[in-house]
């Protein structure tokens, strides 16, 4: 069974359209837009690998939720932000920008031997989101 760091990303890669269009041969088989989430992919016969039901909002919403909440670990509940990333082991550092009303949150994730969050120089467990301002967050994760 895959661990946290591999499971969410493994699922993401399976449904990510670009992963089905990495070569001309793959794109020819896939036959749908490589920038739109498909609702299904044929698995049998001469249509195996072909995408279908693109521009289907249900699958787009699920992919967005998978990326934001389960891979980047960004969760907002009642105006409180928490971060618990679940990324592949080879991801050592990455950044995400979050807009909340007129506020900008620049989040830098750093793989380290600790699990802490620094918000504008102060260690915090969670963040009460503000509707304006600019904030810098460094999320250290194992």
Q: pLDDT tens for residues 78-102? A: 999 999 998 888 899 999 999 999 9
Q: Considering its fold, how many domains does the chain have in total?
A: 2
- Output the pLDDT for position 21: 87
Structural tokens at position 25: 């041969």
Other Cβ atoms less than 10 A from the Cβ of 132: the count is 9
- Give all strands of the β-sheet with 127-128 in edge-to-edge order: 74-77, 80-83, 127-128
CATH of the domain at 84: 2.60.420.10
Give the model confidence (pLDDT) of 102-112 as tens digits: 999 999 999 99
117 and 51 belong to one structural domain: no
Per-residue pLDDT, 5: 59
Residue 104: predicted pLDDT: 98
What pLDDT does 1 receive?
A: 40
The model's pTM: 0.77
Domain holding 30, by residue range, is 1-71
Do 62 and 82 share a structural domain? Answer: no
- 71, 99, 118: which is the final residue of a domain? 71
The reply to whether 64 and 80 lie within a common domain is no
Are both 141 and 77 inside the same structural domain?
Answer: yes
- The answer on 77 and 57 residing in a single domain is no
State the Cα–Cα distance between residues 17 and 36, nearest whole angstrom: 6
76 and 135 assigned to the same domain: yes
Q: Where among 71, 88, 122 does a domain terminate?
A: 71
pLDDT tens digit sequence for 33-89: 878 888 888 888 888 888 888 877 677 788 888 889 989 999 999 999 999 998 888
CB 137 within 8 A of CB 109: no
Arithmetic mean of pLDDT, 5-32: 84
Same domain, 92 and 53: no
pLDDT at 20: 86
**Domain co-membership, 91 together with 50:** no
> Based on the domain organization, do 67 and 79 belong to the same domain?
no
The encoded tokens of residue 64 equal 């967005």
Residues 103 and 126 in one domain: yes
Q: Is there a single domain that holds both residue 34 and residue 77?
A: no
In 3D, which of 116, 128, 138, 134 has the Cα closest to residue 81? Answer: 128
Q: Angle of helix 4-15 relative to helix 57-65, nearest 10 degrees?
A: 160
- CB atoms inside a 10 Å sphere around CB 9: 22
Give yes or no: residues 109 and 60 share one domain: no
Average pLDDT over residues 123-131: 95
Q: What is residue 133's predicted lDDT score, i.e. its pLDDT?
A: 98
More confident residue, 92 or 10: 92
Strands, sheet with 122-124, edge to edge from the N-terminal-most edge strand? 93-100, 102-111, 132-141, 116-119, 122-124
């Amino acid at each position: 069974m895959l661990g946290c760091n591999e499971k969410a990303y493994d699922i993401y890669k399976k449904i990510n359209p670009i992963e089905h269009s990495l070569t001309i041969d793959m794109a020819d088989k896939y036959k749908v837009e490589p920038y739109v989430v498909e609702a299904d992919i044929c698995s049998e016969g001469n249509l195996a690998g072909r995408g279908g039901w693109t521009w289907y909002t249900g699958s787009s919403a699920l992919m967005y939720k998978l990326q934001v909440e389960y891979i980047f670990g960004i969760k907002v509940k009642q105006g409180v932000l928490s971060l618990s990333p679940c990324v592949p082991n080879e991801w050592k550092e990455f950044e995400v920008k979050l807009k909340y009303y007129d506020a900008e949150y620049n989040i830098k994730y750093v793989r380290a031997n600790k699990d802490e969050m620094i918000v504008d120089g102060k260690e915090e467990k969670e963040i009460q989101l503000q509707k304006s301002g600019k904030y810098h967050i460094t999320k250290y994760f194992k």
